[in-house]
Amino acid sequence: MLIKKPGDIRYSEVTPKAVYFDRRKFLAALPAAFLAGRELLSPSARAGAAGKFPTLAKSPFSTTEKENSLTDVAHYNNFYEFGTAKDEPFQLARNFKTYPWTVSVEGEVAKPRKFSIDEILKLAPLEERIYRHRCVEAWSIVVPWAGYSLSALLAQVQPTPKARFVAFQSYYNPSEMPAAQHAGIEFPYVEGLRLDEAMHPLALLCVGMYGDALPPQDGAPVRMILPWKYGFKSIKSIVKIRLVEKMPPNTWNTMQPMEYGFYSNVNPNVDHPRWTQSSERRLGELRRRPTLMFNGYADQVASLYTGMDLKKNF
């Protein structure tokens, strides 16, 4: 019989403590749980992704605002590889294979490396961070994400003194993502940050939400969450991270530079050319609420932009 050592066991193979001590209730509830879960996770995600996480540490960065429901968040997405309508990714990403998965970290680093998703899951303690998330289209959500600060991953590869920016690239395969040909943007999707932004504790390397693995339509198996920036900066389904000396291209900034800046910090004083950014609508609500500077995270991140003209550097 093969006996695995603790270091060989993936999170997906760990039986939660509560399940182990209450197996009969678990077995009785299994059919209902399966029927509910299959609508949110693809077969490939259920088979190989992290699954239900062990108890997550509660992050002090979390907001106390009311969370949106999983149903809301999993059925209303911007993920142009799987369609441009908000309800299309839920339908078209169902069979997206998210395991096995590798993220290459390279460029201006002393120790370039490829990380498997299992290595990413074990690299640092996972936290639950309840973040406000603001879309450039003036709607917002509150979600309990799971992950840890990106700085933990970048420390493993040791950025060199030449590293000033971090470039990200999403997975793209036209045969798996046929709807992308109608999206009107170039693929693979790319994004970027200044290195100090990427190293900020709020910059979350995200592997889950609502205590479970990310659904495919929400960026499985690993994505970024940058709560003080507009949502399109929080790149999904990452396959490559490259540390570079010069400012990297960003998909929307390249396509429409007058509408989407490199920084894209949430700023109620800088409107999008086609709509106001001074107010927003929380998903599931009819009323509008005032937009907060840096999406309410000014105390944590405003110092990153000291002396900058935030209307010019939008």
pLDDT digit string, tens, across residues 240-263: 999 999 999 999 999 999 999 999
User: From residue 87, how far is each of 38, 164, 182, 226, 251 by CA, in Å?
Assistant: 17, 37, 15, 23, 22
**Position of tokens 């074990």?**
122
CB atoms closer than 10 angstroms to residue 178? 13
Amino acid at position 35, single letter: L
What per-residue confidence (pLDDT) applies to 98? 96
Which is it for the CA torsion 221, 210, 292, 75, positive or negative? positive
Alpha carbon distances (Å) from 57 to 39, 127, 128, 171: 27, 5, 6, 29
Is residue 10's pLDDT more than 90? Answer: no
Question: Tell me: the pLDDT tens digits for 141-173?
Answer: 999 999 999 999 999 999 999 999 999 999 999
**What is the mean predicted confidence (pLDDT) over 30-37?**
38
**Averaged pLDDT, 70-80:** 96
Q: Give the CA distances from residue 72 to residues 78, 217, 234, in Å, rounded to whole numbers and listed in that order.
A: 13, 12, 18
Mean of pLDDT values over 71-100: 96
Instruction: Give residue 6's pLDDT.
Output: 41
User: Taking residues 206-229, what's their average pLDDT?
Assistant: 97
**Degrees (nearest 5) of the Cα angle 1, 16, 98?**
80
- Please tell me the predicted confidence (pLDDT) of residue 105: 98
Local confidence band at 64 (pLDDT 50, 70, 90 cut-offs): very high
Residue 76 CB partners (closer than 8 Å, separation 6+): 86, 87, 283
pLDDT given for residue 50 in this prediction = 56
| Domain-wise residue ranges, the chain | 16-305
- State percent of the chain over pLDDT 70: 84
Which of 179, 295, 198, 185 is closest to 238 using CA atoms? 198
Which 3 state secondary structure label does DSSP give 37?
helix
- The single-letter code of the amino acid at 76 is Y
Averaged pLDDT score across all residues of the chain = 88
pLDDT at 34: 35
Global confidence as pTM: 0.85
How far from chain centre, in Å, is Cα 173?
19
Q: Is the pLDDT of residue 4 over 60?
A: no
Q: Find the radius of gyration of the CA atoms of the chain.
A: 19
The beta strands (E) that lie in the chain are given as: 57-58, 102-107, 113-116, 127-134, 139-149, 165-170, 190-194, 204-209, 212-213, 223-225, 238-244, 279-282, 288-290
Which CATH class, in words, describes the domain spanning 16-305? Answer: alpha beta
Q: How deeply is 20 buried, as exposed, middle or buried, from its count of CB atoms within 10 A (0-12, 13-18, 19+)?
A: exposed
